[in-house]
Amino acid sequence: MNALNTERPTVPSTALPPVLQVQGLSKRFHPSLPPVVDQVSFAVGPSEVFALLGPSGCGKTTTLRLIAGFERANQGQVWIAGREVTRCPVEQRGIGFVFQDYALFPHLSVYDNVAFGLRHLRGRARKERVEEVLGLVGLTVFKDRKPGELSGGQQQRVALARAIAPGPKVVLLDEPFSSLDAALRQATRDEVRALLKQAGIGAVLVTHDQEEALSFADRLAVMRAGRLEQIGTPEEVYHRPRTPFVAQFLGRTNLIPGEAKGLEAETPLGRIALVEEAHGPVLLSLRPEGLGLAAPLKHLPQLEATVLTREFKGHDLTYRVRLGERELLVQESPESPFRPGERVRLVVRARAVVVGRNK
Amino acid sequence: MVSRLSKPIPKGLLAVALLIGLAVLLPMLYLVLRAAQAEPSQLAEIVLRPRNLYLLGNTLALLAGVIVLSTLLALPLAWITSRTNLRGKRLWTVLLVLPLAVPGYVGVFGFFGATGSGGWLEMLLGFPWPRPTGYLGALGVLTLFTYPYLFLNLRAALLGLDSSLEESARSLGYRGFEVFLRVVLPQLRPALYAGWLLIGLHVLGDFGVVSLVRYETFSYAIYLQYAASFDRVYAAWLSLMLILLTGSLLWLEARLLKNLTLSRVGLGSARRPSPVPLGAWSLPAYALMVLLVVGALLVPLTSIVYWLNQPAYPLELSSIKEALQNSAQAAAPAALLAALLALPLAYLGVRYPSSLSRLLERAAYLGYATPPLAFALALIFFSLRALPFLYQSLALLVLAYALHFLAEAIGPIRSALYQAPPRLEEAARSLGYRPLQAFLKATFPLLRRGILASMALVFLSAVKELPLTFLLAPAGYSTLSTRIWGYTAEAMFAEAAPYALLIVLFSAGLVGLLLTQERR
């Protein structure tokens, strides 16, 4: 399973050369401990937004810090804008970095924070650039304030403005939205994405929030225990997970064993269709929205299940049902009438994805 | 944070920090070298001299006496001011801490000026009181002016205790005093050890008090050997013995703390116990507090005021100004230098915590714990051997202050560093700044207050420092502290009074600063 990340292309779909390329990056903090980052490779195209998604402790932040140069890699290379920078100190890499807690300089005004990285510019040019960037993030009127006098969303925009002001080819964002409250998060996310696209900067976002990764990124990589399990567009990764971990991490799913025979498989749910051809014992992923419930039929007793719980969420409805020894999640429309304890029949509405091969 | 452990320390920083650690420890080496100059035949005679045992006995007797007496005072006082229904707890606490602002030699001035024939007690009562001299004099004065170290530690510990432990002991059938002995006292042990250590270091390092009351401890003997009989080899040996004694104290404290497995309760989580009514104990409680305030505050202050008003000698403003200037001329550069040296050590300790950085910080603390007379002697030998042009120069005194008080300077800078997140420097790096520039631009501005606090601490400590000044000041260079000592030794109290007033004002500032720093 671990070799799966090499099966897919690690380069972006655009034809232009990547602004960031990472090859075989590995980092070990202690010789006796397993590597925190293990043979990670990917590339980010110009003005592409790339997300590194994974649970906490999977090594995604360390990967970002290796790219920035805050940590030194034990193995592997990093190229930024076509130049190998693996041995370069941070300040010579030409990256922008947005920290989780923003790390704004508390003793400097908003204006001076943004101007901090513009040492190569003097006088007029410097002022114009600061004001241009502040205008871009819509903070011109706050330019004389200290960071402590701004709201969380405003601080976040100053941090972004400071990072993009020197004109980096790639910006690295370390969980930049996690300290914002939920109401502000979506709006800020959209703004930042629009900004990055407008400025034509490549971006790597680190997050543990799968919804954020799916909606923010052009492509994403799912990381687990230091390795990339899968790289692809949000749709690919969601609809065609390659491993059980990816399937489960990107939203809820049902993992079902089966015996594949070409484009179909025999499973405890009966014979179901597969997205792609496979043979032999397999593990399948079927999302809750790929299942439905109906009134039981006399002649199909083997698909009869019992409703365990019913979770009404307004726009939809999730059931937990038991089929034999197995519990399954089923997503239904909000009008679905079944109650806990009732007998129901399972209906398979979508094709299953092979996420692993059982021995 | 596993990532911190593996981070390599930048080479430049490491070199600077190692150099500073070495600077603190190097003079000690010269003390050893000097001691080793004794002829082999002489050596046995020096080490086995009966006088050594006599000095050791005296020093230990004073150490034990001050520790026991301070504990007898500080423990009930800490309990009274934290756990009872005493009125004005805050005011009493301040009054009981204030004696810290009176250096021992000023305390002796206070008592000498009050007692004997011509003292203000004779004017007041009609008959002269006996002067505190010898063992009892040293014991009394040192206890009065060092017990607040223990008092502060114990009071903080008592306020931090979880009262539910005491309540559960009560529910199991123990009465008030039994609860204190079986539950409270064992939990106060870390505070007791810490307070005892501070007091112990003070007693071992003290020169002003023992020399004025003429009680022969190691410090006093070192001074006599060095200044009077010029037997520098023996002085070096005595210094080494004193350092050994100090080392044993540090070792003992570390050992006692190591065997202690108390799960400490955080300050905020514990519920405050309801205050214990003092009842019939009010009178003894007030009597004890009044006694201390009279002895440790009223007596010295009255002496200062009384002798300031004695018309016998005209106040020589120009010579006061000179002493003030001399004090400041040595203390100000020392403060700057100490802060400068503390910066790399504190930075290393906060950003690259490792056994090496802890070792370097400990070197700084060792310089602080070394009895000042021994430290001064070590620096004299070092300068004579290695840098002769420094001997008898103001620069050597400045260096001595800076190295001795380096540990004091590290504290505030370190707490300021903890408040400046390392992300700020990383942000500056990602914006194109080299490491040193990133530090200067992003972190340094946030350390300003901490650095100022460090400098103020070292400045005030250096102004009131006596033994280092005494041995290391250039010939004829007298400061506020050496003037007080000199005049008091000659019983010229009217001349000493203005200097004593200035020193008390300076040290009151120091105590205030220390207390606000601790509260952070």
Which range is least confidently modeled, A346-355, B62-71, B229-238? B229-238
Round to whole Å and give the CA distance between B293 and A127: 63
pLDDT for residue B271: 55
User: Percentage of chain A surpassing pLDDT 90?
Assistant: 61
Q: Is there a contact between A116 and B5 if contact means CB atoms under 8 Å apart?
A: no
Which candidate, A170, A214, A221, A176, places its Cα nearest to that of A196?
A170
Q: Is there a contact between B5 and A30 if contact means CB atoms under 8 Å apart?
A: yes
Q: Is A70 on the interface with B (CB under 8 A)?
A: yes
Q: Is B462 on the interface with A (CB under 8 A)?
A: no
In chain A, which residues have their Cβ closer than 8 Å to the Cβ of B440? Answer: none
Kindly identify which residue of chain A lies nearest to residue B431, measuring between CA atoms. A117
CA distances B416 to B162, B327, B335, B421, B451, Å, are 30, 28, 17, 10, 8
In chain B, which residues have their Cβ closer than 8 Å to the Cβ of A119? Answer: 432-433
Mean per-residue pLDDT, B239-267: 75
Across the interface, which of B423, B435, B441 has its CB nearest the CB of A99?
Answer: B423
- Kindly report, residue by residue over A178-225, the tens digit of the pLDDT: 878 887 888 888 888 988 998 889 999 999 999 999 999 999 999 999
Across the interface, which of A33, A36, A96 has its CB nearest the CB of B430?
Answer: A96
Q: Is B4 on the interface with A (CB under 8 A)?
A: no
Across the interface, which of B421, B426, B431 has its CB nearest the CB of A116?
Answer: B431
Round to whole Å and give the CA distance between B425 and B448: 16
> Mutation test of the interface with chain B: which of A66, A105, A158, A172, choosing the one with the most B Cβ atoms within 10 A?
A105
pTM: 0.78
Round to whole Å and give the CA distance between A2 and A12: 21
Instruction: Compare A130 and A138 and report the one with higher pLDDT.
Output: A130
Q: Is B262 on the interface with A (CB under 8 A)?
A: no
For residue B389, the SS3 value is helix
The shortest C-alpha distance from B345 to chain A (Å) reads: 22
Q: Is A22 on the interface with B (CB under 8 A)?
A: no
The shortest C-alpha distance from B6 to chain A (Å) reads: 6
pLDDT for residue B85: 87
Which candidate, B105, B214, B98, places its Cα nearest to that of B493?
B105
User: Percentage of chain B surpassing pLDDT 90?
Assistant: 37
pLDDT for residue B476: 87
Instruction: Compare A14 and A243 and report the one with higher pLDDT.
Output: A243
- 207-226 of A, contacting B, C-beta below 8 A: none
CB atoms within 10 A of CB A309: 11
Q: Is there a contact between A89 and B421 if contact means CB atoms under 8 Å apart?
A: no
Q: Is B427 on the interface with A (CB under 8 A)?
A: yes
CA distances A33 to A28, A60, B343, B371, Å, are 7, 17, 34, 46
The shortest C-alpha distance from B18 to chain A (Å) reads: 24
The shortest C-alpha distance from A92 to chain B (Å) reads: 6
Q: Is there a contact between A33 and B423 if contact means CB atoms under 8 Å apart?
A: no
Q: Is there a contact between B2 and A30 if contact means CB atoms under 8 Å apart?
A: yes
On average, the pLDDT of chain B sits at 86
Q: Is B432 on the interface with A (CB under 8 A)?
A: yes
* A18 φ, ψ (degrees, to nearest 5): -70, 150
Q: Is there a contact between A30 and B3 if contact means CB atoms under 8 Å apart?
A: no
Q: Is there a contact between B442 and A33 if contact means CB atoms under 8 Å apart?
A: no
The shortest C-alpha distance from A231 to chain B (Å) reads: 26
CA distances B149 to A65, A158, B459, Å, are 46, 48, 20
The shortest C-alpha distance from A331 to chain B (Å) reads: 41
Q: Is there a contact between B432 and A62 if contact means CB atoms under 8 Å apart?
A: no
Mean per-residue pLDDT, A338-356: 92
- Kindly report, residue by residue over A299-338, the tens digit of the pLDDT: 767 778 999 999 998 888 999 999 888 899 999 998 889 9
* B26 φ, ψ (degrees, to nearest 5): -60, -45
- With residues binned 3-state (H G I as helix, E B as strand, rest as coil), the percentages for chain B, rounded to 5, are 80, 0, 20
In chain B, which residues have their Cβ closer than 8 Å to the Cβ of A92? Answer: 432
Q: Is A29 on the interface with B (CB under 8 A)?
A: yes
On average, the pLDDT of chain A sits at 89
Contacts of A18 (CB under 8 A, 6+ apart): A11, A12, A43, A44, A45, A46, A79, A202
* A327 φ, ψ (degrees, to nearest 5): -105, 140
Reported ipTM: 0.75
In chain A, which residues have their Cβ closer than 8 Å to the Cβ of B443? Answer: none
Round to whole Å and give the CA distance between B89 and A307: 67
pLDDT for residue A29: 87
Contact B70, B62 (CB under 8 A): no
Round to whole Å and give the CA distance between B396 and B380: 9
Q: Is A57 on the interface with B (CB under 8 A)?
A: no
Q: Which amino acid is located at B166 in the chain?
A: E
- Kindly report, residue by residue over B434-472, the tens digit of the pLDDT: 989 999 999 999 998 889 988 988 998 899 899 999 889
The shortest C-alpha distance from B515 to chain A (Å) reads: 26
- Kindly report, residue by residue over B392-441, the tens digit of the pLDDT: 899 999 999 999 999 889 988 988 898 888 899 999 999 999 989 999 99
Round to whole Å and give the CA distance between B200 and B63: 6
Q: Is B1 on the interface with A (CB under 8 A)?
A: no
Across the interface, which of B2, B432, B445 has its CB nearest the CB of A117?
Answer: B432
Strand stretches in A169-296, DSSP E = 170-174, 202-207, 219-224, 227-232, 254-267, 270-286, 291-294
Residues in chain A: 359
Sorting pLDDT into bands at 50, 70 and 90, what band is A2? Answer: very low
Kindly identify which residue of chain B lies nearest to residue A162, measuring between CA atoms. B431
The shortest C-alpha distance from B440 to chain A (Å) reads: 12
The shortest C-alpha distance from B446 to chain A (Å) reads: 7
Q: Is A359 on the interface with B (CB under 8 A)?
A: no
In chain B, which residues have their Cβ closer than 8 Å to the Cβ of A101? Answer: 421, 423
In chain A, which residues have their Cβ closer than 8 Å to the Cβ of B424? Answer: 103, 105
pLDDT for residue B27: 84
Round to whole Å and give the CA distance between B341 and B409: 9
Q: At what angle do helices B11-35 and B372-385 cross, to 10 degrees?
A: 90
In chain A, which residues have their Cβ closer than 8 Å to the Cβ of B432? Answer: 91-92, 117, 119, 166
pLDDT for residue A5: 40
Mean per-residue pLDDT, B8-37: 87
Contact A25, A212 (CB under 8 A): no
pLDDT for residue A13: 53
Sorting pLDDT into bands at 50, 70 and 90, what band is B120? Answer: confident
CB atoms within 10 A of CB B185: 12
Sorting pLDDT into bands at 50, 70 and 90, what band is A291? Answer: very high
Q: Is there a contact between A106 and B446 if contact means CB atoms under 8 Å apart?
A: yes
The shortest C-alpha distance from A130 to chain B (Å) reads: 14
Any idea which residue has 């000095």 for tokens? B55
Which range is least confidently modeled, A11-20, A63-72, A73-82, B105-114? A11-20
